[in-house]
Amino acid sequence: DVKVTQSSRYLVKRTGEKVFLECVQDMDHENMFWYRQDPGLGLRLIYFSYDVKMKEKGDIPEGYSVSREKKERFSLILESASTNQTSMYLCASSPNGRAGNYGYTFGSGTRLTVV
Amino acid sequence: AQSVTQPDIHITVSEGASLELRCNYSYGATPYLFWYVQSPGQGLQLLLKYFSGDTLVQGIKGFEAEFKRSQSSFNLRKPSVHWSDAAEYFCAVGDPNTGTASKLTFGTGTRLQVTL
C-alpha cells in the first residue's frame, strides 16, 4: 500500500514561531501536495512539487514556503506562524504522467493550533 | 479555471436508506472526476474516479457515481447506507490537459450523518 506519513497528528505553536510540517511518502511518487482544510472551505492547495527541488504555488501560498530536497519528503514551512494559520494540513502524493489517472494518496493530516 | 460545487453541507439518512450526494463541476470539457471520503480524524480515501467511457462508475464500499455531461454532475450514490458510512465526502475535479502534476480542485464537502 502507498503510504503517506505526516510526522505529527497535533501541534500547538506560538504566534511568530517558525513551524515545520513534514510529509514522507514511500512509493517513489514524483508529485507531492500540501492542502489546508477548514470547515466550510473544503481543501485548498497551498503548494505542490512535481520533482525534487521543484515547487509551484497553489491557490493560497501566502505565509507558507516548502522544501523538497529528497523525492520522498515534502516539508511545509510557516515562516512566522499566525493564528489564522490554525487549520488541518493534509499532505498528498501521486505518481507522474497524468496524475489524475491515479488520484491522490493522502496522509492522516496534522492539526495545527497557533496560539 | 475548474471549480466544484457540493450544494449540500450536511445530510442525515437512516441506516438502510439510499443515499445520493450531489456534485456539480465547472470545466470547459470533460474533467477527471473523483469522490473521496474522510472519516473523523483521518485523511482522505479515494472512493472512485471517472476518466472516460462508461458513465456509471463503481467504487469501494458499495458506492457508485454517475457522470452526466448534460448536467455537469457527478453524483455519488449508495443503495443502502450503513452506520459506518458516516463521514465527510468530497468531490474533486482534475484537468486532463495539464500533463504531469495535475492539481485537483475539491468541493467544500458534504457531511453525512447516519441515524440508527
A73-78: strand order across its sheet: A4-6, A19-25, A73-78, A64-70
Q: Sort strands A10-13 and A110-114 into parallel, antiparallel or unpaired.
A: parallel
Interval B47-88: pLDDT, tens: 999 988 889 999 999 999 999 999 999 999 999 999 999 999
| Contact at CB, A56 and B101, closer than 8 angstroms | yes
Residues of chain A in contact with residue B49, where contact means CB-CB under 8 angstroms, are 103
Cβ-nearest to B44 among A94, A97, A106:
A106
What are the C-alpha distances in Å from B68 to residues A70, B52, B114? 41, 12, 27
Round to whole Å and give the CA distance between A22 and A42: 21
> What value does the mean pLDDT of chain A take?
91
Q: What is the pLDDT of residue A101?
A: 53
Residues of chain A in contact with residue B103, where contact means CB-CB under 8 angstroms, are 33, 45, 48, 58
Query: Chain A within 8 Å of B59 (Cβ-Cβ)?
Result: no
CB-based burial label for A34 (10 Å; 0-12, 13-18, 19+): buried
Enumerate residues 6+ apart whose C-beta is below 8 A from B27. B2, B3, B72, B93, B95
Cβ-nearest to A43 among B95, B100, B106:
B106
Sign of CA dihedral B25, B58, B42, A28: negative
Cβ-nearest to B108 among A42, A45, A98:
A42
CB-based burial label for A5 (10 Å; 0-12, 13-18, 19+): middle
Interval B16-47: pLDDT, tens: 999 999 999 998 778 889 999 999 878 899 99
